[in-house]
Amino acid sequence: MIIDCDCHNYWSSAEVLLPYLDEYHRDYFTRGEQPGPRGSFPNANRPWLHPEGFKRMDINPQTQEDHYRVMKEKHLDAYSIDYAIMTGDEAMEASTIANPFYAAALVRAYNDWMIDEWLARDSRLKGSIMIAPQAPDLAAQEIRRLGHRSDMVQVLASHGAERPYGNPFYHPIFEACAEVGLPFAIHLGGQGGINTNPIAAGPTRYFWETHAILGQSAQTHVASMIAEGVFEKWPELYFIVIECGVAWAAPILWRLDADYKALRKETPWLKMLPSEYFRRNIRFTTQPLEQPETGVEHLWSILDAMYGRETLMFASDYPHWDYDDVQKLHIPPQWRSDVLGNNALQVYRRLRNSNTTEAAAAVTA
Amino acid sequence: MNGQGIHACKASEVAPGQQKIVRINNMPIGIFEIDGDYHAMLNICPHRGGQLCEGPQCGTGIDAGDFGIEYGRRNELVRCAWHGWEFDIRTGEALADPKMKAKTFDVSIDGDDLYVHM
């Protein structure tokens, strides 16, 4: 069983959204300012531009139809992926736009387009409800609008955000997630516009150095989700951290546990150690999995310290430049069935219902 | 030249920036031209096994001293299609990690025919 928890469904042009946008926001889109040429997605631009482009260079779809065909051929079929969770692409950049109504309209259009264009094509593809987190009430509406569809398996926002996600400002989002029974996931992105703090100490200058440390804000979100008591309010909520690095988790948990033990009185609503909430409620996807020059045993030791056999879920990041190949994923061999599929089946409960007896057996095992 | 030459393709089918991927002895091989000379490289990246030769044939940023950058090595490099590592087409060495070497093969030319020696 292989479940890919980060598989990007592209569009040939953001204009595919036009039929899905309401008339008012269609005018914004067609006549309003765009960050790039015709067909680019409205977002408040990132300070960092990838010098070679984000896509693997052997993947060059020319038409909308090609995007699915190439994904099927070069990824889903080639690696026998049982399920791939669609994480969109540019659409998560709606989180950078100041106007909450436009941002919410864009993600709503994206979600409807994704259902028609991607989920309808292939039962292996499962959807993420993209939200614009700067408008928590509108995000909650969108979660409730689509959250009962059996082919939607999580709620997704960019990791770039106006404030740490545990802040009560965002709690309407988690309330809605809990109501429809979906995990809340963040994916690397949304570094610009109203999300003014993607890098601590100010903007670094080069793409590679920035990409390597973009996990910084995910550290903030993990600490905040725990400290603010999100998992006391919604004990069954899973928080999934996608593409923000993995190997930093254990040292952060050690620090959180130590500081909490000294200053428990600040957050008396917590009933467990931060690391215990992490183990129960937080999951990380693997890509891009750190690769130490000094030997994989260093990585494995630190993955073990974050309960990696339970908390890690495979992701490829298809079709991006830092794609992880499922056949070459450097995790302990005895973890493979859990990290490649079983942990995701635990988190994405709906996959179990829509699944074959084979997958049901894998969960029980 | 090492080994027996096996016909790969026509020289006229290859140009700088337009490498050709051929299959020889069931191995995928990229054929490149740099300044009128032809080179062959296994289309499997030593980093993670990606389609190395399907990335762009290109030059790169060179240290010009005093923290300056200039463009150099025009067409001498291929950037792996998957993860973007730069390899010297002639030697197979990865620029950022010379320990990492892509497999290269000698190429001979007879008229318009290119032969790879394995």
Count CB-CB contacts under 10 A for residue B28. 16
Q: How many CA atoms lie within 13 A of B23 on its CB side?
A: 1
- B27 contacts: CB under 8 Å, gap ≥ 6: B42
Residue A365 has pLDDT above 80, yes or no: no
For an interface test with B, the pick among A55, A58, A211 (most B C-beta atoms closer than 10 Å) comes out as A58
What's the helix, strand, coil split of chain B in %, to 5? 5, 55, 40
Residue A346 has pLDDT above 90, yes or no: yes
- Asked if residue A154 lies in contact with residue A129, where contact means CB atoms within 8 angstroms, the answer is yes
What amino acid is encoded at A335 in this protein? W
Whether residues B49 and A57 touch (CB distance < 8 A) is answered with no
Residue A197 is predicted with a pLDDT of 87
Question: Is the CB of B60 inside 8 Å of chain A's CB atoms?
Answer: no
Residue A358 has pLDDT above 80, yes or no: no
Q: What is the CATH number of domain B5-117?
A: 2.102.10.10
Residue A319 is predicted with a pLDDT of 93
Which residues of A lie closer than 8 Å to B, measured between beta carbons?
52, 56-58, 321-323, 325, 328
What's the pLDDT band for A355 if we cut at 50, 70, 90? low
Smallest CA–CA distance from B82 into chain A, residue: A56
- The whole-angstrom separation of Cα B118 and Cα B60 is 29
Whether residues A52 and B48 touch (CB distance < 8 A) is answered with no
List Cα–Cα distances, A81 to A239, A272, B16, in angstroms: 23, 36, 37
Q: Token digits for A350? A: 């709906």
- The whole-angstrom separation of Cα A225 and Cα A256 is 12
Contact residues on chain A for B48, CB-CB shorter than 8 A:
325, 328
- pLDDT greater at residue B61 or residue A129: A129
What's the pLDDT band for A44 if we cut at 50, 70, 90? confident
Question: Is the CB of B30 inside 8 Å of chain A's CB atoms?
Answer: no
- Between A and B, how many residue pairs show a Cβ–Cβ distance under 8 A? 30
Contact residues on chain A for B50, CB-CB shorter than 8 A:
56, 58, 323, 325
pTM to 2 decimal places: 0.89
Residue B28 has pLDDT above 90, yes or no: yes
Residue A158's SS3 state is: strand
Contact residues on chain A for B79, CB-CB shorter than 8 A:
52, 57
What's the pLDDT band for B52 if we cut at 50, 70, 90? very high
b (16+ CB within 10 A) / e for A12-40 = eebebbeebbeeebbebbeeeebbeeeee
What's the pLDDT band for A357 if we cut at 50, 70, 90? very low
**Euclidean distance between the first and final Cα of chain B, in Å?**
9
Smallest CA–CA distance from B58 into chain A, residue: A52
Domain ranges of chain B: 5-117
**ipTM for the predicted complex:** 0.76
Largest Cα separation within chain B, whole Å, is: 48
State the nearest Cα–Cα gap between B111 and chain A, in angstroms. 31
Q: Which domains does chain A have, with CATH numbers?
A: 3-364 (3.20.20.140)
Question: Is the CB of B56 inside 8 Å of chain A's CB atoms?
Answer: yes
